[in-house]
Structure 1
Amino acid sequence: MSVSQPSLTVEQQQFFDVIKDRRSVRSYDPEVKISREEMNEILQQATLAPSSANLQPWRFLVIDSPELKQKLFPIAYNQQQVIEASAVIAVLGDLESIKLAEKIYGMAVDAGHMPAETAKSFVERYQGIFSSMPPETIRRIVSIDGGLISMQLMLVARAKGYDTVPMAGYDEAKFVEAFNISERYAPVMLIAIGKAAKPGHPTLRLPIEDVTFYNELPKA
């Protein structure tokens, strides 16, 4: 006997619509500008994403100057969205995010989320853990956290009526040099954001049976 599924609330339907409507858009209306105030709102909402030890290692370099977008254009292999989009957001991972642990956990204390002694023990614990981590492990952590916030950023943008495309296709070494990125920050990806001039192409996904397994993976 089949079991009927509960109907979605308005809020749930709106959320699922945002997920379904998100597309990787590569053609933008160059006349549309996103104000710094609205961009900050988008980024603020995106920062509600989870991160390891809540250290929030993401950093954003928002490139919205026409001159700097022209500078980025060849570095991003002449992808037209770099020029047309309202901005290109470089998502970076702070390899020294542990330095902000005291501030982050101090904010939690001030907000009444935890006692000061608990915060102090968390800070000391994570400082000890991160001080003994190999650099490649820290880089992996900030890359994962950078991916989490990048997806959240793109969904927030779609909810606000904007379009995005994540870009891994760029010369990282030239980007670091051209935009004076210090060794403290690891580039994760570029995200173009703006209003679509043409809709993104619809794409299909593999059946869930092809990608999901319960309790054990099939033998190769």
Structure 2
Amino acid sequence: MEFQDVVRRRRMVRSYDPDRPVDPAVVERLLDNAVRAPSAGFSQGWGFLVLESAEDRARFWEATSDDAGDDGAPDGWLTGMMTAPLIVVPLSCKEIYLERYAQDDKGWTDKDESRWPVPYWDIDTGMASLLILQTAVDEGLGACFFGVPPARMEAFRTAFDVPAAYTPIGAITVGHKPADPAQTGAKGSPTRRARRDPGEVVHRGRWTARP
């Protein structure tokens, strides 16, 4: 698939064919591409928790979900997302970055976090996540990036023995799209909000006020 096609076709898919697992070779390609993301100082301070078995996926949803209805049943969003045969949780590690930039070739002699203008550990892991999303499109699959509720972080860590130094920046479901396009969960924000034109968000030379 041409790169521009990958960019145009990327959508957040919220429902999957539960009877079609993701080919193991494709799973490896998703991860191989993820680790090609750029990282400050080539720190590579990320980790990827891959959940493929029904048991692991059920444990993930139990640990992270706040979206059950009043009757305890999953709501429509969760019902669709739980059909994904693959979940990848990208995690960032701030400590790896602080240690990397305290090394001789970087010139800092301490691990003072205030030196960092933004949390590059999260940004770099986010770029790795986008490569997973784009690779999924290139493979003809659907995928969706979503957040882990802050109140559920500790339950997630406990469920999967995640070290305290690693923080999930979100999670990605991946799978084959259902045969019926209406079941892909397309009624997300893009169906209610128009995509902003580059003329609204691109500023050349200096920031220009927009009406």
TM-score by length of 1: 0.74
Q: Which residue of 1 aligns with 2:95?
A: 96
Q: Distance in 1 between matches of 2:123 and 2:161?
A: 23
Q: Distance in 2 between matches of 1:16 and 1:27?
A: 24
Q: Which residue of 1 aligns with 2:186?
A: 201
Percent identity over the alignment is: 23
Q: Which residue of 2 aligns with 1:144?
A: 123
Give CA deviations for 1:85-109 in whole Å, capped at 9, x if unaligned. Answer: 12111000123335996xxxxxxxx
Q: Distance in 2 between matches of 1:133 and 1:183?
A: 19
Flag structure 1 segments of 5+ consecutive residues without an equivalent: 1-10, 102-121
Cα distance 1:34–1:167, how it changes in 2: closer, same or farther (>3 A)?
same
Q: Which residue of 1 aligns with 2:31?
A: 43
Letter in 2 for 1:216: R
Q: Distance in 1 between matches of 2:205 and 2:139?
A: 38
Q: 1:77 Cα deviation (Å)?
A: 3.1
Q: 1:177 Cα deviation (Å)?
A: 2.5
Q: 1:138 Cα deviation (Å)?
A: 9.6
Cα distance 1:52–1:178, how it changes in 2: closer, same or farther (>3 A)?
same
The answer to whether the 8 Å contact 1:73/1:80 transfers is no
Q: Which residue of 2 aligns with 1:23?
A: 11
Cα distance 1:172–1:186, how it changes in 2: closer, same or farther (>3 A)?
same
Flag structure 2 segments of 5+ consecutive residues without an equivalent: 68-77
Q: Flag the structure with larger Rg.
A: 1
Q: Which residue of 1 aligns with 2:205?
A: 215
Q: Which residue of 2 aligns with 1:112?
A: none
Q: 1:199 Cα deviation (Å)?
A: 3.6
RMSD: 2.8
Residue of 80, 104, 113 corresponding to 1:124: 104
Segments of 4+ moved more than 4 angstroms: 98-101, 135-139
Letter in 1 for 2:65: A
Letter in 2 for 1:201: A
